[in-house]
């Protein structure tokens, strides 16, 4: 892997830096984290600004290096990250690009890039999380529609989503991993009830979604009927492989802020804390290099990241928790203030070792699919 930059790449960096310096001061104040309609408006507004300036497709079309430069510069300048556009931009969109027909790509990709449509993910069910293949939401074929009945849980951003990447069982008689299909569910279809769930940090990041005889056009199916498990693996490889990339850059910035705060409040005098921050700095540097390796490997192998994403997801989610534990020590008593952004991040970082597949499941994947160890029972 060549980590030096070409003249063209440096030029991209300079132009982006100038553009960010011009537009960021004009951005409105970010909304309250509990105000979901406000968050949607803010996040989609930023996406539209990226679109108008020609940067919206950077996650999909640009070379891995340009993508890395984009993330580095955006974070350095304090630009908003994907926010409510997370599912659409970072895994539904890439899955539609890889698996959709020309009509499906034409229908769904542009509105994601323009920030016009938000997606959510309806994979998990009350009895199907780690063991996703045991999902039971049923889609019965009725002419040119499916009629979908069942329930989903932990559906992030469901409250404000226009579309949901939905996994359904189209053949209940087939073996578990077959008989599943991947559908694009319009969230305004009749028969959908969204019930928000409140997290430890007070926010309603996700919801339960109940589906009662919901009509979904057959044309909204991605891939062949009953072949949804294969499509799901594509979605999950994007979710674990490349979706967290921007957050590594953010963690490196926070680490610098922790060091500055510790110097200012005297905690820097503690050698154990200094050692901890130094080790975390090396850790995030290594994660950034691993990210670069994963993204450039994905580029070489047709754009779909492989199981290497599980190595990254496993280590990143733990390092993020350690980072915000260190933040609490830097803040001292201030770390108990629930309104402090580092404290809120500390609470939400607890979920990182669960979301997108728990650490135990990532270890199983690393053991079986990378190290070739025998399958667990």
Ligand X SMILES: Cc1cc2nc3c(=O)[nH]c(=O)nc-3n(C[C@H](O)[C@H](O)[C@H](O)COP(=O)(O)OP(=O)(O)OC[C@H]3O[C@@H](n4cnc5c(N)ncnc54)[C@H](O)[C@@H]3O)c2cc1C
Q: Is 322 a catalytic residue?
A: no
Mind giving me the DSSP string for 31-71? PPTT-HHHHHHHHHHHHHHHHHTT-GGGGTTS-HHHHHHHH
The interface mask with ligand X, positions 142-161, x = CB under 6 A, is ------------xxx-----
What are the CA-CA distances from residue 322 to residues 266, 316, 318, 371 (Å)?
21, 10, 6, 26
Q: Which stretch binds ligand X (CB under 6 A): 3-11, 77-85, 140-148, 347-355?
A: 347-355
Q: Which two tokens stand for residue 187?
A: 């969230």
Under 8 Å CB-to-CB from 345, ≥6 apart: which residues? 254, 324, 327
354 near ligand X, rule: CB under 6 A: yes
Least distance in Å: CB of 134 to ligand X?
Answer: 10
Q: Which two tokens stand for residue 263?
A: 């110097």
Q: Whose Cβ is closer to ligand X: residue 137's or residue 170's?
A: 137
Least distance in Å: CB of 2 to ligand X?
Answer: 36
Q: Residue from 197, 364, 368, 369 that binds ligand X (CB under 6 A)?
A: 364
Characterize the bridge pairing of strands 163-169 and 192-197: unpaired
Q: Whose Cβ is closer to ligand X: residue 88's or residue 223's?
A: 88
97 near ligand X, rule: CB under 6 A: no
d(C-alpha 336, C-alpha 341), whole Å: 11
Q: Whose Cβ is closer to ligand X: residue 273's or residue 354's?
A: 354
Looking at the DSSP bridge assignments, the partners of residue 214 are: 148
- Sequence length of the chain is 377
The interface mask with ligand X, positions 20-49, x = CB under 6 A, is ------------------------------
Q: Which two tokens stand for residue 178?
A: 């077959």
d(C-alpha 312, C-alpha 325), whole Å: 20
Least distance in Å: CB of 217 to ligand X?
Answer: 22
351 near ligand X, rule: CB under 6 A: yes
Q: Residue from 19, 123, 229, 324 that binds ligand X (CB under 6 A)?
A: 123
Q: Residue from 355, 367, 368, 369 that binds ligand X (CB under 6 A)?
A: 355
121 near ligand X, rule: CB under 6 A: yes
The interface mask with ligand X, positions 198-217, x = CB under 6 A, is --------x-----------
Contact yes or no for 91/309 (Cβ under 8 A): no
Least distance in Å: CB of 194 to ligand X?
Answer: 12
360 near ligand X, rule: CB under 6 A: yes
Q: Whose Cβ is closer to ligand X: residue 158's or residue 330's?
A: 158
Q: Which entry of 165, 239, 283, 345 is annotated as an active-site residue?
A: 239
281 near ligand X, rule: CB under 6 A: no
130 near ligand X, rule: CB under 6 A: yes
Phi-psi category of residue 152: left, alpha or beta, with phi > 0 → left and psi -120 to 50 → alpha: beta
Under 8 Å CB-to-CB from 296, ≥6 apart: which residues? 1, 64, 65
What are the CA-CA distances from residue 38 to residues 29, 45, 84, 187, 210 (Å)?
11, 10, 11, 19, 24
357 near ligand X, rule: CB under 6 A: yes
Give contact residues for ligand X (rule: CB under 6 A): 120-124, 129-130, 154-156, 206, 351, 354-355, 357-358, 360-361, 364
Catalytic residue IDs: 239
């Amino acid at each position: 892997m060549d980590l030096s930059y070409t003249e063209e790449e440096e030029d991209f960096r300079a132009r982006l830096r100038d553009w960010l310096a011009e537009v960021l001061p004009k951005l409105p104040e970010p909304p309250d984290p509990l105000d979901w309609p406000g968050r949607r408006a803010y996040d989609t507004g930023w996406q539209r600004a990226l679109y108008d300036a020609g940067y919206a497709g950077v996650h999909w079309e640009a070379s891995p290096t340009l993508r890395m430069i984009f993330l580095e510069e955006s974070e350095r300048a304090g630009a908003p990250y994907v926010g409510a556009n997370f599912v659409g931009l970072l895994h539904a969109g890439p899955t539609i690009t890889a698996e959709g027909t020309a009509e499906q790509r034409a229908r769904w990709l542009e509105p994601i890039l323009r920030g016009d449509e938000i997606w959510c993910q309806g994979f998990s069910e009350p009895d199907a999380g780690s063991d996703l293949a045991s999902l039971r939401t049923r889609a019965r074929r009725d002419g040119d529609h499916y009629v979908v009945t069942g329930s989903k849980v932990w559906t992030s951003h469901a409250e404000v989503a226009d579309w949901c990447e939905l996994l359904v069982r189209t053949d209940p008689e087939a073996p578990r991993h077959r008989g599943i299909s991947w559908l694009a569910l319009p969230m305004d279809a009749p028969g959908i009830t969204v019930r928000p769930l409140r997290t430890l940090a007070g926010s309603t990041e996700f919801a339960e979604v109940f589906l009662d005889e919901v009509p979904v056009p057959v044309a909204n199916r991605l891939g062949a009927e009953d072949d949804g498990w294969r499509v799901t693996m594509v979605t999950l490889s994007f979710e674990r492989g490349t979706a967290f990339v921007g957050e590594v850059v953010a963690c490196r910035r926070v680490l610098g802020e922790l060091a500055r705060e510790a110097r200012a409040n005297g905690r820097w005098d503690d050698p154990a804390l200094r050692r901890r921050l130094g080790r975390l700095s090396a850790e995030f540097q290594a994660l950034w290099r691993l990210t670069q390796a994963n993204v450039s490997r994905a580029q070489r192998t047709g754009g779909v990241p492989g199981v290497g994403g599980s190595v990254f997801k496993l280590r990143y989610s733990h390092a993020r928790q350690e980072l915000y534990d260190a933040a609490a020590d830097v803040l001292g008593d201030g770390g108990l203030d629930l309104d402090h952004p580092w404290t809120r991040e500390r609470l939400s970082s607890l979920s990182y070792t669960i979301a997108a597949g728990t650490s135990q499941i990532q270890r199983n994947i690393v053991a079986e699919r990378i190290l070739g160890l025998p399958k667990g029972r």
